[in-house]
């Protein structure tokens, strides 16, 4: 059996953090709504949800329309962790995970997005295909887009689809 492990990623995960001038609750609402994910996506791979699954919760399964290059595909993700206003993580059908951690910092929030392929079915293949580097760039772009969306929402401007929920 062939095995490959890129020594640059001993834990098989990449995280990028950014301090956003928005409350954690506003940010979390965007992350918990799959309909917002195409607006956030800095990688160009998320096309949109399939159907109207609504707000995510622990154990939720949410189908998404995706693409790799010009090739479209469908995937159903499963929410593994859900801590209201603080943390959300989901698993892709191939086994890798996307994790969002929010740390309030006064009126701002430090947001960390992590691509974790340590749980993937073929982590070596993910490395050989260059996904760690590509996803690191995509995460940085995603955090920039998230910042734009939540800043507009906090200012009361139209935010390209960000919806606030009344509690």
Asked if the structure places residue 119 within a domain, the reply is yes
Provide the domain count of the chain.
Answer: 1
Q: If pLDDT is split at 50, 70 and 90, which confidence band does 4 have?
A: confident
Asked if the structure places residue 127 within a domain, the reply is yes
Average pLDDT for 142-153:
91
**Kind and range of the H or E element at 62?**
strand 61-68
Asked if pLDDT for residue 27 goes beyond 90, the answer is yes
Q: How many CB atoms lie within 10 A of CB 117?
A: 25
Give the predicted TM-score (pTM) of the model. Answer: 0.88
CB 113 within 8 A of CB 106: no
The number of residues in the chain equals 167
Give the CATH number, domain containing residue 104. Answer: 3.30.530.20
d(CA 13, CA 44): 20
Query: Residue 138 burial by CB count (10 A; 0-12/13-18/19+): exposed, middle or buried?
Result: buried
Of the candidates 145, 94, 100, 101, the residue with the CA atom closest to the CA atom of residue 117: 94
Asked if the structure places residue 72 within a domain, the reply is yes
Asked if pLDDT for residue 163 goes beyond 50, the answer is no
Asked if the structure places residue 86 within a domain, the reply is yes
Asked if the structure places residue 139 within a domain, the reply is yes
**Kind and range of the H or E element at 31?**
helix 24-31
pLDDT digits (tens, 9 = 90+) for 99-143: 999 999 998 999 999 999 999 999 999 999 999 999 999 999 999
**In Å, how far from its chain's centre is CA 64?**
12
Domain that holds residue 115: 14-154
How is the beta sheet containing 13-20 ordered, strand by strand?
13-20, 108-116, 97-105, 87-91, 71-83, 61-68, 46-49
């Amino acid at each position: 059996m062939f095995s490959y492990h890129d020594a640059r990623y001993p834990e098989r995960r990449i995280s990028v953090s950014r301090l956003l001038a928005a409350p954690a609750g506003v940010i979390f609402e965007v992350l918990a709504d799959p309909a917002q994910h195409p607006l956030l996506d800095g990688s160009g791979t998320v096309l949109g949800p399939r159907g109207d699954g609504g707000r995510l919760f622990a154990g939720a399964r949410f189908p998404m329309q995706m693409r790799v290059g010009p090739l479209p595909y469908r995937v159903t993700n499963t929410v593994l962790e859900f801590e209201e206003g603080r943390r959300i993580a989901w698993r892709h059908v191939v086994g890798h995970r996307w994790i969002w951690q929010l740390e309030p910092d006064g009126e701002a929030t430090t947001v960390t997005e992590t691509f974790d392929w340590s749980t993937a079915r073929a982590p070596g293949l993910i490395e050989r295909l260059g996904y760690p580097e590509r996803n690191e760039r995509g995460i940085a772009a995603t955090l920039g887009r998230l910042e734009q969306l939540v800043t507009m929402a906090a200012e009361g401007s139209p935010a390209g689809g960000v919806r606030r929920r009344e509690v």
